[in-house]
Every structure is written in C-alpha cells, then in structure tokens.
C-alpha cells in the first residue's frame, strides 16, 4: 500500500506540476506567431515565415492543452474563429505594401492625367496608314508603321506575320487593322 501511494503521488506531481509555465508558454508562442505573421507581410521569404507562424500557433495550442483541457479547447476555438479575420486583415494590409504594388497590376484609379497608371496613350495613327504585322494578330499582336511599333487588333479573323495591313479604326487606346488588299 505504501509503494502504491508513492507511485500515485509521483505520477500526480510529474503530470500536473506547475502548470502556469504552460500557459505562459502558450501566450509567448502566440505573441511570436503574431510577430512572425506581421513580418511575413513585409519580408519576402517565400512562405518560410508563414510556416513558422503556423508552427508557433500549433505549439501554442499544445501548450494550452498541457495547462488544461479547457484552456486548450478555448485556444483552439479562438484561433479557429479569429483566423479568417486575421487573414482578411493581413491581405488588406499587404495590398498597401511596396511588394504587393510590384506584384499586382495597377489599380483602376486615375492619376493626374486622367489615365490609369501604367497605361500610355497610343501615338496617333491615321486611318488608312499602311504597315506590316510583326507578330501574328490572333486577334491582337504588334504592327510596325514606319519606325513605330504598336499593339493592334485584327478587324476580323487572324493575320499572319509579315502581312501588309491597313488601319481601319484608330482612337486613343485602340488601333484596328485589316489585311491590305
């Protein structure tokens, strides 16, 4: 009976011990995960920081479970409920970073010239101007008009490389050509 009581007491002290260390570890790991998650938005690591963030979150949940089942399930529930909000907030924050601006196409807002950023008005090409197709027009490709190389659209069907073309429509942002003949 004495040995059984000693084993029970030993098992009880090794499993429960001071569980406040586990809750502290859970919160520290959560804080590290938040810092790593924010860094992932600004530092291009190819997802390495995202994997480290996820690992810290899983380790945090494990630490909370080590403290107690109630703490573990509460952390699991809180992380599951908060994750979609964190992801949406992260993407909104990320779109304002210089990295995102370089990776994503320009916005649709107009700049001071009244033109979308990143687009330039085509040089004026008069209707009836003759040129040569530099690429196949399927229906869009490049056409050379003298020294000018412009993106143009075929009026109908496809136009082969080297085909002589004539401008049939031209406005500020679109040139339409047809095969000369």
Q: Give 97-159 as a DSSP string.
A: SHHHHHHS---S---TTSS-TT--PPPP--TT-EEEESS-BSSEEEEEETTEEEEEEESSS-B
Q: Kindly report, residue by residue over 139-165, the tens digit of the pLDDT.
A: 899 999 988 899 999 998 899 999 999
The pLDDT, as a whole number, for residue 110 is 43
pLDDT-wise least confident of 16-20, 28-32, 105-109: 105-109
Asked if pLDDT for residue 67 goes beyond 50, the answer is yes
The pLDDT, as a whole number, for residue 114 is 47
Asked if pLDDT for residue 86 goes beyond 80, the answer is yes
Q: What is the enclosing helix (H) or strand (E) of 148?
A: strand 148-154
Query: Which structure tokens are listed for 136?
Result: 């196949």
Asked if pLDDT for residue 32 goes beyond 70, the answer is yes
Place of tokens 């995202």: 50
Q: How confident is the model at residue 124 (pLDDT cuts 50, 70, 90)?
A: confident
Q: Give 79-96 as a DSSP string.
A: HHHHHHHHHHHHHHHHTT
Higher pLDDT: 98 or 16? It is: 98
The pLDDT > 90 percentage for the chain reads 51
Q: What is the enclosing helix (H) or strand (E) of 31?
A: helix 20-42
The pLDDT, as a whole number, for residue 158 is 92
Q: Which residues contact 172 (CB under 8 A, 6 or more apart)?
A: 121, 122
The pLDDT, as a whole number, for residue 102 is 72
The pLDDT, as a whole number, for residue 105 is 54
Measuring CA to CA, how many Å separate 153 from each of 125, 161, 164, 172, 177? 13, 13, 14, 14, 6
Q: Do residues 175 and 157 touch, judged by C-beta distance below 8 A?
A: no
Q: In the CATH hierarchy, which fold is given to the domain comprising 130-179?
A: OB fold (Dihydrolipoamide Acetyltransferase, E2P) (2.40.50)
Distance between CA atoms of 152 and 178, rounded to whole angstroms? 10
Tell me, yes or no, if the pTM score tops 0.75: no
Domain with CATH 2.40.50.140 in the chain: 130-179
The pLDDT, as a whole number, for residue 4 is 52
The average confidence (pLDDT) of the chain is 82
The pLDDT > 70 percentage for the chain reads 80
- DSSP state at residue 138: S
């Amino acid at each position: 009976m004495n040995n059984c009581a000693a084993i029970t007491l030993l098992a009880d002290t090794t499993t429960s011990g001071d569980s406040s260390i586990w809750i502290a570890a859970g919160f520290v790991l959560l804080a590290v995960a938040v810092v790593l998650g924010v860094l992932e938005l600004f530092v291009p690591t190819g997802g390495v920081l995202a994997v480290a963030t996820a690992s810290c979150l899983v380790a945090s949940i494990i630490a909370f479970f080590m403290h107690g089942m109630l703490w573990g399930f509460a952390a699991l529930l809180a992380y599951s409920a908060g994750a979609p909000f964190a992801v949406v907030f992260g993407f909104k924050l990320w779109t304002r970073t210089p990295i995102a601006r370089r990776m994503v196409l320009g916005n649709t807002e107009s700049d001071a010239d009244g033109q979308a950023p990143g687009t330039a008005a085509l040089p004026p090409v008069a209707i009836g101007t003759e040129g040569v197709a530099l690429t196949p027009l399927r229906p869009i490709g490049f056409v050379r008009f003298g020294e000018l190389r412009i993106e143009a659209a075929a009026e109908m069907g496809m136009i082969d490389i080297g085909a002589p073309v004539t401008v049939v429509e031209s406005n500020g942002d679109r040139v339409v050509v047809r095969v000369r003949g």
